Copies of this chain bind each other. A is one copy, B any other.
Amino acid sequence: MSIRSGCALCDGDGGIAVHRGELLRVIRVEDADFPAFYRVVWNAHVPELTDLGRDERALLLDAVAIVEGVLRERLAPTKINLASLGNMVPHLHWHVIARFDWDSHFPEPIWGRRQREVLPAAADRLPLGLPQMDTLVRRALEAADR
C-alpha cells in the first residue's frame, strides 16, 4: 500500500479512530462548532477520487453513505455536507458533517463566515453523546463489512 511519510493521514489516524477497515477508515473530527463531523479516509496515499478504480470508488462512497445514514437517522440534521477537498492534505478523505439550522455557520459552508455564537455548546444540543454516535457509526460500517 502506498504510504507517504510526512502526510498527516499516512503518519496517523487523523482524528478519533471510529473504524479501521482494510482499505479505508473512519475517524471523528474534534470540532466544537461541528461535533457530528466524521471523515472517511482511504488508507493508501492517493490524492483524487479518480485515482481509484470503479469498485474502490463504490466502496468508498458506500462508507460515506453509511456514515451519512447514521447521522440522518440519529440526529435528524437540517442537512448533510459532504466534501473531498485535500488542498492542504492531498490524501483522499471525505468529510461527512451533520449541519443544523442553529449551528455557528449555517447556511454557510463550515469554511465560510461564522453566522452566530451558539450556547449551549453544539455537542450539548445533540440528542446523543458523541461516544454513542461513534459506536453506532462503527457498528453500521462493520455490519456492511466496510
Residues of A within 8 A of B (CB): 47-50, 54, 57-58, 61-62, 64-65, 68-69, 72, 78-88, 90, 99, 106-109, 111-112
Closest-CB distance, A73 to chain B (whole angstroms) = 9
Complex CA gap A68/B49 in Å reads 8
Q: A49-B80, A50-B69, A69-B50 known; A87 and B64 CB under 8 Å? A: no
Q: Are A109 and B106 in contact, CB atoms less than 8 angstroms apart?
A: no
Closest-CB distance, A145 to chain B (whole angstroms) = 14
Q: Are B57 and A61 in contact, CB atoms less than 8 angstroms apart?
A: yes
Measured between beta carbons, the chain B residues less than 8 angstroms from A64 are 49
Candidates B65, B72, B83, B112; contact of A83 at CB < 8 Å = B83
Q: A48-B80, A68-B49, A80-B48 known; A108 and B109 CB under 8 Å? A: no
Q: Are B57 and A65 in contact, CB atoms less than 8 angstroms apart?
A: yes
Q: Are B109 and A85 in contact, CB atoms less than 8 angstroms apart?
A: yes
Residue ID in chain B nearest A88 by CB atoms? B107
